[in-house]
Each structure stands twice: as C-alpha cells, then as structure tokens.
Chains A and B, each alone.
Chain A
Amino acid sequence: MNKYDVIIVGAGVAGLSAAYVLAKAGVNVVVLERGLNPGSKNVMGGVLYRQMMEELIPEFWKDAPLERPIVEQRFWLMGKDAVTSGGYKDLEWSKPPYNNFTVFRGKFDAWFASKCVEAGALIINETVAVECIVKEGKVVGVRTTRPDGDLYANVVILADGVNSLLARRLGFHKEWRPSQVALAIMEQIKLPALTIEERFNVASGQGVTIELYGDATLGMMGTAFIYTNKEHVSIGCGTLLSQLSQSKITPYDLLDRLKQHPLVEPLIKGGEAVEYYAHLIPEGGYHSVPKLVGNGVMIIGDAAQLVNGIHREGSNLAMTSGRLAAEAYLIAHRVGDFDERMLSPYAVAITESYVIKDLKKYKNATHIMEKNPAYFNTYLPAVNEAAKEFLSVDGRPKRSKQWLILKRFFGHRGWFRSLWEIIKLGRSMK
C-alpha cells in the first residue's frame, strides 16, 4: 500500500508552501500535480508577494526565477479616450527586501517544486486526483487516475485550485455561483526589455503594474491589468462571470478591445503575442470560504476561496494558508491523531492572521458592488467626467463647474440615492 504522512493535491504556491514546511520538518510528503511539471497548469496575473514567500525561504530572490521587482503601482480609471490616473512609486522597492515581483508561474513553480524536492518532498507529475478516499467518516487518501493509483496518508491537503472539485465532492462547499468567480484572460506580449523600460518609465530591471477600471471592462465589475515582465508584458482583464455572461461579449473581444484602446495600444505596440491564458479567480470573499478542516483533511489557497479581490492579492494568501496548514499538521503528527479537532489549529491560525481578517474587512463590499452595477458603470465614469470638467479651460467660471461636477456625480441616480450608495460602499470597506 502506498502510504505517506501527507498527500498534497496540487503543486501551486499553496500546495508547495505546505510541502516545503512539511519536508523541512522531515515529514513524508507527496505532492500530486496534473500537469507535465509544476507550473504548467498554473495561471496568475503575475504578482508574487515577497513577505509571505520569505517566511518560507529567506532571501529567495537571490535564487528564484523572477521577472521584475515592482517599483510602481498605477491605477487607471478609463474612459473611452480618457483616463484619470493615480499611483505610487517607491524606489525602496527596487532594492532588497523588495515589496513584490512579477513572476512567470511556469518557471517559478518549477523552481519552488525543486526546492521542495531538495527538502525531501516527492512530486508526482501527470497525475490527476479524482476524489478523496473516505473511510468511517475520515479522509484517508486520494484516488488518482493512475493504475493502482490509490494513495493513503494521515492527512490530505487540498490545494487543487479554484475549481476545488475534491472539496466539493466531500460536501465542504457547493458548486460556486457565477457571481463568486471572475473569469480572467491574459496574453503575454513579447517586447525588448529596453522598450518596456522606456514606455513604462522605469530604470533597468524595474517593473510597473497598472490596474485599469471603467471602460477597460466595459463597466462590468472587474479590472484589467498590465504588468511588466523582463521581456514580456502581461495584459489581461477579469470580470465577474455572472456579468460577463449577461453582457453577450466574448472575453477575447473584451481583451482585444483593451489592447486597441488608444491609451493602452502605445504600451504594447509592435509586441508579439506569445501565449494566451484563461483562469477563474475566486471572488466570493469571506462569505464563500468553505469549511477548512475535516477529519484527515485541510483546504488551502484558491480551493478555499482565499483571494482578496479588492487588493488583487492571492498568491500571498495561498502561501500563508499552506504554511499554517503544514504547521497544524506538525502538531497533530506529534500526537499521532488527525481528526478534525486535532487539525483545527489551522482554521484558528488562519482566522487570526491577515488572511481571514482582510477577507472579513471587505466581506460585503464585493456583494454590494455586484448587486448594484452603478458603482462600475456610473460612478467610475463620473470620476472621469468630473476630472475633465475640472481641468478643461473653457471660459466658464469654476463655481459653475463645481456645481456641474457634483450634478454629474450625484445627478445620474438622484442625490439621496447616490449619497446613500456611496456611504454604503464606504462603510462596507471600513
């Protein structure tokens, strides 16, 4: 019988973080990956957060395949031919210890997996986990598609990503609703490093992220993004699946429209598209996080909806959840008991960490924005109209402009209603 201490389903950053901590502690751990190798199925916009990775591997940036440290985060509220922009640039972020990096998951995850192997983990590629093996109310292993592919363990950690098929089969959550996930698509555009640095106004090796709202998603709830890599630019857009589905526009037409936007096109002009991706992003937030622990099983990363959509954070939540699940296992391992009660320190630790605290802070925000399309299709464009009014010098007195701006912002939907809607959103994020 194939028996391990721990089986981890999925070699993304969540699963690999758990594997790394366990292997380092001498635990007999196996990671199942369905792709040819770790990373080949993994898609992310591209930002990997330094702090949470460093909690696992100190100074990983000296060794890991990274694209660019991000020194500037820009925010663009898009109109048809206009943009209201903001951002923050900090050259401290160009130096150790850095803030975050763009990475290619195809390369980064392969590297991270090799670190896990060095630490003593076993990684089995090209293997799909079909379901958990449950005996007497306890998860005791995983059924795979390989011949004689039943593997057994004290604990199974589900890190199988947003689709989270195994946890659903266990009854930990229902199928996600189309309003609980965003569909993001992305292209990788190849451009010379020097061209990228000139166009994005950064020094050699430095990187920029731009999040785009408003017209970039045709007023649908979601964001578009442009991230710089060494010799590629990632460009993509993500919208709630529920809203995309109603819009009757294809996601690739939405992306092409973005690429042709007169304010975006100069950034990627002359570049060659080299790869095309699609991925669901968990956007359900706090209310969608399923039961995280059962007898002999823990759920981490996207599989547990651990994504902070408002701050576009995900890889960091994945890594922290993986580490905390591994640490909970280590305590249970010493006692030799792996029931729900013994593994529950994982659920407690994650609830006390920034992961659940941040999701809780915004627990109603996504829902409020999703239920009322005005935030994305009325108020965001109104910011652009206001900026235009304020900055166009046309001989009209400023006071009448101010009045017009307020009228544009609040007049669309009625003063009281608008005021209430804005207060409501503000309160949901406090």
Chain B
Amino acid sequence: MNIDDKLYLNRYIIDQFSHLAIKDQQVCTDCKDKPCLTFCPARVYEWKDEHIVVGYEGCLECGACRVGCPYDNVDWVYPRGGFGVQFRLA
C-alpha cells in the first residue's frame, strides 16, 4: 500500500493556505541528506526542480519535520482552527 493510498483513507479539511513553510530554500539546496524527504510520514516534502515542494494538504500534523530538520528550516504552525486532518478513530 503506497503512501498516497494511506493518506487517501483520512478525512482532511484543506485550508487554502499552507501552515508549513520552508524558511530558506537555499538551506535545503545545501542540505546534503535532506532527511525530511524520507522521515516525513505523509511525504509532505518532495525535491522537485531543485527545490523543496511542500504538500501541506496531506500533513498529519505530527511535528517530526520541525524537530527533525537538521537546520531548523521549517516554519511550523498548526493549521487554522477546524482545518487539517480530522481523525475519526485513532
């Protein structure tokens, strides 16, 4: 089961604004390992055309990218009230 299928199981109320932002794209360009590309459980971060694309729509709001970014380069806040993933079970 690939990650897109997993995310598709969830209910999201998607805001038009991203609650996640890269502070400085150059820092990501210079980051050798780019660990966020692999450890993010929702594959929010992708490396495309020489920069990081932030697919905030599938974010599970765990906070791993904020803690795990080696350069503290993620501007991380919660989605606005009522937006984002809404779990039914858990």
Q: Which residues of A contact B (CB under 8 A)?
A: 34-36, 39-44, 46, 104-107, 125-128, 130, 144-146, 162-163, 165, 175-178, 180-181, 183, 185-188, 232, 241, 244-246, 248-252, 256, 273-280
Contacts and interface: CB of A to CB of B under 8 A. Distances in A.
Contacts of A105: 87, 90
Interface stretch (B22-30, B47-55, B76-84): B76-84
Interface in B21-40: 35, 38-39
Contact of A34 (B3, B43, B66, B81): B81
Contacts of A162: 63
A183 B41 contact: yes
A126 B79 CA distance: 10
Contact residues of B: prevailing secondary structure: loop
Interface of B: 1, 3, 6-7, 9-10, 13, 35, 38-39, 41-43, 60-64, 66-68, 72, 77-82, 84-90
Contacts of A277: 60, 87, 90
Given A128-B81, A145-B80, A278 B68 contact: no
A39 B82 contact: no
Nearest to A161: B63
Residue among A39, A165, A183 with max Cβ neighbours from chain B (10 Å): A183
Residue among B13, B79, B82 with max Cβ neighbours from chain A (10 Å): B82
Contact of A248 (B38, B64, B80, B84): B38
Contacts, number: 130
A273 B1 contact: yes
B41 A126 contact: no
A44 B62 CA distance: 12
Contact of B82 (A126, A163, A178, A188): A126
7 contacts: A34-B82, A40-B88, A105-B90, A252-B43, A275-B88, A276-B7, A278-B64
Given A43-B90, A128-B78, A280-B63, A252 B41 contact: yes
Contact of B87 (A40, A180, A249): A40
B86 A40 contact: yes
Contacts of B90: 39, 42-44, 46, 104-106, 186, 188, 275, 277
B67 A35 contact: no
A145 B43 CA distance: 27
Given A126-B82, A278-B64, A106 B43 contact: no
B77 to A, nearest CB: 8
A209 to B, nearest CB: 16
Given A36-B82, A44-B90, 20 more contacts: A34-B79, A46-B90, A106-B90, A126-B81, A128-B78, A146-B81, A165-B78, A177-B67, A178-B68, A183-B62, A245-B68, A250-B3, A250-B43, A251-B39, A275-B87, A275-B90, A276-B6, A276-B60, A278-B60, A279-B62
A36 B86 CA distance: 7
A241 B39 contact: yes
Contacts of A35: 82, 86
A280 B88 contact: no
A274 B89 CA distance: 9
A181 B68 CA distance: 10
